[in-house]
Amino acid sequence: MSKVDDRDQVRADQIATWDAVSDGWLAWTAEFERAAGAVSAELVRLAGVRPGQSVLDYGTGLGEPAFTVADTVGPTGEVVGVDLSPRMVARARERAAGRRGVRFLVGGPEVVPGGHDAVLSRWVLPLAADRVGLLRALRAALRPGGTLAAAVWGPPAEVPMIALGFRVLAGLLELPPPPPGPSPFALADPTALRDEVAAAGFREVLVTEVVVDFRLAAPDAFADFALDVLPPRLHGALRERYGDAHHPEVRSALVGAVDGFRTDDGGLSLPSRCLLVRGVA
Ligand SMILES: C[S@@+](CC[C@H](N)C(=O)[O-])C[C@H]1O[C@@H](n2cnc3c(N)ncnc32)[C@H](O)[C@@H]1O
């Protein structure tokens, strides 16, 4: 397969995956944002977003950090969220109903308007086939001196909220390790992150970290979450093997895997390491 075919395939896979999980993520948004909201707030702070500014949220999904940014830029500012997945964008538009100053576009770098004061992006860069190419396009969307602030996940072993469910289910299904390539954890090395952002032409590149303490009410809720946001390929494999993705054996493996994350009140704390990068165009 040529590089161009690779990129087309990655893009098509991302659209199919995120379209399929959009409703599952929507069901968990309120709970997820209780912890993830701190990352949106930190991106706003790192980029120095102020009232009246124009900001792009690249890979906005259901609308974060776009909604947090909209609250910061206020009525004289403007926020545009861009995402490849039509269904994620449809959900973001529904969530935006009645809000002014925030709009959403379906597509990739080709639909991004230019001249922004800041570009923010939460948990998207590692999903791209050509990360430096994407970062160059994001730099081109900034005015000179504008700021990029992006979040990516750390290594899977330190991101239980996102990685643990996959690990357990891949083990049950005896799947081989995933091939190298785009994944939520493909940019988990702070040095590689800094180098790629610098390679795209950003100046004053700075990498920091934050631990996002995801809380769930009970171990059973982790099983629900992991299965609700599971990519369709794994969902299909579970159905084939167990007849139902929510088979008791599947749920008990997920519940057992979070035993070490229980809190005194019977809930769960799943601290997950997140890298933050800032660069100036
Ligand atoms: C992990 S979700 C993050 C969504 C949102 N930013 C958040 O933090 O909740 C990743 C999103 O990036 C989108 N995406 C993946 N690859 C993309 C690309 N190359 N360009 C634009 N969007 C992309 C997906 O459709 C999905 O909505």
Q: What is the pLDDT of residue 1?
A: 47
With respect to residue 246, please indicate whether it lies within any of the assigned structural domains.
Answer: no
Split into its structural domains, the chain has a count of 1
Nearest-CA residue for ligand 1 atom 1 is 123
Q: What is the pLDDT of residue 2?
A: 57
Question: What's the CATH number where 77 sits?
Answer: 3.40.50.150
The CA-based angle 40-17-197, given to 5 degrees, is 45
At 174, is the secondary structure helix, strand, or coil? coil
With respect to residue 264, please indicate whether it lies within any of the assigned structural domains.
Answer: no
Identify how many contiguous H helices and E strands the chain contains and give both numbers.
9, 7
Backbone angles phi, psi at 96, to 5 degrees: -85, -5
With respect to residue 240, please indicate whether it lies within any of the assigned structural domains.
Answer: no
**DSSP 8-state class, residue 111:** G
* CA separation for the pair 44, 180 (Å, rounded): 31
Structure tokens at 107: 């597509």
Tell me, in angstroms, the distance from the centre of ligand 1 to residue 37's CA.
16
Percent of the chain predicted with pLDDT > 70: 99
Mutation probe of ligand 1 site: the residue of 22, 80, 84 with most atoms within 8 A of C-beta = 84
84 contacts 106 by C-beta, under 8 angstroms: yes
Structure tokens at 68: 């947090």
* Type of residue numbered 90: A
Nearest-CA residue for ligand 1 atom 23 is 59
Range of the domain at 73: 3-155+179-211+271-280
Q: What is the pLDDT of residue 203?
A: 98
Which segments in the chain show pLDDT lower than 70? 1-4
User: Beta strands of the chain (E only): which ranges?
Assistant: 54-58, 78-83, 102-106, 116-122, 142-153, 203-216, 268-280
With respect to residue 204, please indicate whether it lies within any of the assigned structural domains.
Answer: yes
With respect to residue 103, please indicate whether it lies within any of the assigned structural domains.
Answer: yes
Q: Residue 180: CB partners within 8 Å, gap ≥ 6?
A: 186
Mutation probe of ligand 1 site: the residue of 82, 127, 152, 214 with most atoms within 8 A of C-beta = 127
- Percent helix / strand / coil, the chain, rounded to 5: 50, 20, 30
Nearest-CA residue for ligand 1 atom 10 is 124
